[in-house]
Structure 1
Amino acid sequence: MTSRRHFLKVSGLSMAATALPFQPSFAAAKPVILLKSSWNDMNIGDIGHTPGTLRLLERYVPEAQVVLWHAAPRPVTEALVAKNFPKVKLVSGEFAPDKPDSPVMKAFNEANLYIHNSGMPMNYGLFSFEWNAPMGNLTPMLYCYERNIPFGLYGQSFDKFASPSDLIFRDVLNRAAFIYTRDKDSLNYLQENKFKPAVLEFGPDGCFGIDVRDEEKGLAYLKQTGLEAGKFLAVVIRTNTAPLDGHGKSSFLNPANPTPEQQAQNRDWMTKTGAVITNWVRKTGQQVLIAPESVKETKYGRTMLYATLPDDVKPRVVFRDTFWSADEAMSVYARAHTVFGMEPHSLIMALALGVPVIHARSIWHGRKGWMFRDIGLNEWLFDINTTSADTMNTTLMQIHQNYPKAKEKARMAMQVVADRQKASMQVVRKLVKLTS
């Protein structure tokens, strides 16, 4: 069988002879894929990356033992994984090469392939100039390189490498066996900045692979609220507001003290979203569910959006004030007519279920806002900062009036996703076979 060193040479990633012996213990005679994922339990998008990519690995690389690495405990995600992926092994803790007997380091030293799952952590100077986070993501890749363990990045967005960070990012990421960008703007950005890993291609966010459901909770919620399957619009917002107590730190996107500009954005975004909700209720007579993608919107969605709706509209609107995991959300979104949202991952979940979506993105949130354009849904993508509510209402009514056509459009977009998933997973499978 082809050796790991031979693979790295033919991939242009050869190096000095420093490899450690590979002695698998997770599953005898099985190649091991180590997946770093699960960034947050307070956002269903950050939860959703994990089951999505795990399902793809299970489907396309069934011969591998997948080890999921959580840098910090993620009890919500871990419960979801245990329920739906019983064969997946979990390791949790810090990356600490000086502690070779820790579960995390044992997993690294037994891995045939290391994958950093979908997100946007490979940036410097986009939202902050804090260096520890990107270094924490790059260091495990250098460790893999020193030990001839192929590594790759799956479904990433790349927004900014402020000088001189580009020198470090380029040096490390050029050693990757693959980089799949979840939007083509990120792909172009890497190419323009002379990033040349072994494989550099467009590959959708891992969350597109999600198929987990909690039907018991989802159906119970629909019954409790009176939402009728196929006859409600789900609305997902985001606001420039602080995390709730105990649920994260202040940051550019979650400011403890929003600037006047951010406060103005909040008013503009909620005014337009409120107009969409009002138009939907008055023209279709159907209901609306205001659903949270992140914990904090269980508070601000009520005070900034629901509370401002007209009195004749409110009785047709359900506001969800408790957070949920991705599987319950999937069971509810599966019964939605359409999902309108500012955040992309609830929309990804809906689209994976065949439900039409409208993404009212903000350009402030980075290149990931182009994800739906790049799978053929440009007509359903808007910049909420520059687009009027009337324009978005027109598109929503077109979806409603030509629903079979909209469902087919959603299906075709997911076929684009499926084709890229298959191609990317074939690369993963070849890597695993070559290095086992």
Structure 2
Amino acid sequence: MRQTIILRSSWQVVNIGDIAHTPGLLAILEKYMPQTQVVLWPSKDFTVEVEDMICRRFPQLKVVKGTIGEDGKASNEELQMALDESSFLLHGSGPLLVGRDEAEAYVKFYKKPFGVFGITYGGYNEGEWCREIHSLAKFIYFRDSVSLQKAIQDGVSSPVMKFGPDAAFAVDLENDAKAEVFLRENKLEPGKFLCCISRHRYTPYWEIKDWPYDADKDAFNQQMKEQDNAPLREAIIQVVRKTGLKVLLCPEDKSQMAFEKEMIYDLLPEDVLPNVVYKSEFWLTDEAVSVYRQSAGLFGSEMHSPIMCIGSGIPAIVCRWEGQTTKGFMWRDIGLGDWLFDQDQEAEMSRLVPAVLDMAIHNEAAKEKALAAKQKVEKLYVEMVDTLKNCLNA
């Protein structure tokens, strides 16, 4: 009998990286468990536009929405059927156990197991209640080794607890037609441009979602924005002046277009500007991946665009800071530690420009390094799927 897995994923759509978790994991399951039916259970933010994009790649995918009530019953017939027919709930990648309430209800009311593919632990999710729900999982793969050690120290006792990469490495969405138009209109030639992404210290969700304004976070963003962006501007300047490559400023979330214009594009020297393209409109994951694949590499202060680049064999440099979750440390875990920079450490950031130039000038060697990391990730995916298969066959 064909088994059914409920995939609890798709947390929000204002960020192409958060979108990427879901098609990445769907691609992994399609490759290694093709006979298993997967039902996607997304969060309420899931939009028709994003659903259509994912379903173009996975046309047989069934999507159910809704909640489990206090009586254990689903809020609609489609979700109820999926819960009844399923044999396992798989929690997708994310910054924490985002679907903890659904996982807990699934175990409590349906007496069925769940497991976790590639999350961060710590900071957002600590305390006794958190330890208990994590320990109910049949397995937890943490997307960075720092999270794994933190969970062990906190006494989380899931039977299988290991490092396992974020599922977004496996994204294979594409929109080559739209990407080709964009590249042609902006005179960006394949292999002759780098991508750069910058961001606020705290994502200003009050600008892009129905969230209340946070004055403290906004003030800290304003305080740190010059420190964080000066090295990126200098890297762009040196790339343009010394390599002949162009640079594309592009967003990972909806708050970044205006920010990149303010802190990078508008402050570049006049001789550099003609070779810098500023993307003023947001894009979805499929177009972004198609553009990244045509680039010589990416650098900046985001995480999932670099992940999607490495998943396509494209070099990517990551800048991070202490206030973020520990997900950035996965770069060390997959052999890319010298492409990881702490923006609060002056000594590290002094090496950023040389690293970006080296990636641009010795691009074939950089691509080989990216490919080696990709292969390491793929081997770990096999192990993660084998653990899931063992749970299903138990």
Q: Provide TM-score, normalisation by structure 1.
A: 0.85
* Gaps in structure 2 of 5+ consecutive residues: none
Residue aligned with 1:372, SS: helix
Q: In structure 2, the residue corresponding to 1:33 is in which secondary structure?
A: strand
Which of residues 173, 183, 191 in structure 2 aligns to 1:230? 191
Structure 1 unaligned segments of length 5 or more: list them. Answer: 1-28, 123-133
Instruction: Look up the match of 1:10.
Output: none
| Aligned pairs (5 A) from 1:172-187 | 172-187=133-148
1:80 and 2:48 correspond = no
**Partner Cα separation in structure 1 for residue 346 and residue 309 of structure 2:** 23
> In structure 2, what is the Cα distance between the partners aligned to 1:34 and 1:193?
28
Helix, strand or coil for the counterpart of 1:81?
A: helix
1:154 lines up with 2:126 in the alignment: no
Corresponding residue to 1:218 among 170, 179, 182: 179
Offset from partner CA, 1:47-92 (integer Å, 9 cap, x none): 1111000000111111111000112132232012210001211001
What is the identity, as a one-letter code, of the residue corresponding to 1:118?
S
Aligned: 1:309 with 2:268: yes
Task: Provide the C-alpha distance between the structure 1 equivalents of 2:131 and 2:244, rounded to a whole number of angstroms.
Answer: 54
Letter in 2 for 1:76: E
Of the three residues 63, 67, 82, the one matched with 1:107 is: 82
Contact 2:122/2:151 (8 A) holds in 1: no
Matches within 5 A, 1:3-22: none
Deviation readout 1:348-368 (Å, 9 max, x if unpaired): 111111111110112211111
- Deviation, structure 1 residue 107: 1.8
CA deviation after TM superposition for structure 1 residue 259, in Å: 4.9
Separation in structure 2 between the aligned mates of residue 433 and residue 63 of structure 1, nearest angstrom: 14
Which runs of structure 2 are paired with 1:181-200 in the superposition (5 Å)? 181-200=142-161
Report the Cα offset of residue 398 of structure 1: 2.0
Match for residue 100 of structure 2?
138
AA at the equivalent of 1:65: Q
2:130 to 152, 169, 180: 169
Match of 1:263 among 181, 199, 222: 222
1:380 to 339, 345, 364: 339
Q: Deviations over 1:400-436 (max 9, x none)?
A: 33222211111111111011100001111222233xx
Identify which range, 148-157 or 137-146, moves more after superposition: 137-146
Whether the 8 Å CA contact 1:242–1:250 is kept in 2: the answer is: no
Cα deviations by residue, 1:339-391 (Å, 9 ceiling, x for unpaired) = 00211100011111111111011221111111111100001110122146541
Q: Deviations over 1:134-154 (max 9, x none)?
A: 6xx323222222333110111
Note if 1:39 corresponds to 2:11. Answer: yes
> Structure 2 matches for 1:17-96, cutoff 5 A?
29-72=1-44, 73-96=46-69
Give 1:246 deviation, angstroms: 5.2
Q: CA deviation at 1:261?
A: 3.6
How far off is 1:239 after superposition?
A: 1.3
Which contiguous aligned blocks of 4+ residues in structure 1 show a shift greater than 4 angstroms? 255-260
How far 1:188 sits from its partner (Å)? 0.5
Q: Counterpart in 2 of 1:419? A: 379
Equivalent-residue separation in structure 2 for 1:42 and 1:264 (angstroms)? 24
Farther off after superposition, 234-243 or 338-347 = 234-243
Structure 1 residues 183 and 432, CA, compared in 2 at 3 Å: closer, same or farther? same
Q: Which deviates more, 410-419 or 141-150?
A: 141-150
Task: State the match for 1:327 in structure 2.
Answer: 286
Task: Assess, with a 3 A threshold, how the Cα gap between structure 1 residues 151 and 354 changes in structure 2: closer, same or farther.
Answer: same
- TM-score, normalization by structure 2: 0.93
C-alpha distance in 2, partners of 1:149/1:404?
48
Residue 369 in structure 1 maps to residue 331 in structure 2: no
1:167-219 CA deviation, whole Å, 9 max, x = no partner?
11112211111100000000000111111112111100010111111110011
**One-letter amino acid matched to 1:117:** G
| Equivalent pair of 2:204/2:218 in contact (CA under 8 Å) | no
**Aligned-residue CA RMSD (Å):** 1.9
In 2, Cα distance between equivalents of 1:110 and 1:187: 32
Q: Which residue of 2 aligns with 1:402?
A: 362
CA contact (8 A) 1:363 1:369 kept: no
Alignment: residue pair count: 388
| Residue range with higher mean Cα deviation, 113-122 or 63-72 | 113-122
**Equivalent pair of 1:56/1:421 in contact (CA under 8 Å):** yes
Q: Answer yes or no: is the 8 Å Cα contact 2:87–2:113 preserved in 1.
A: yes
Do the aligned partners of 1:244 and 1:296 also contact (CA within 8 Å) in 2? no
Would you say the 8 A contact 2:239–2:245 is kept in 1?
Answer: yes
Alignment match of 1:242 (pick from 204, 224, 240): 204
Secondary structure, aligned partner of 2:22: helix
**Structure 1 segment 280-359 matched on structure 2, within 5 A:** 280-359=239-318
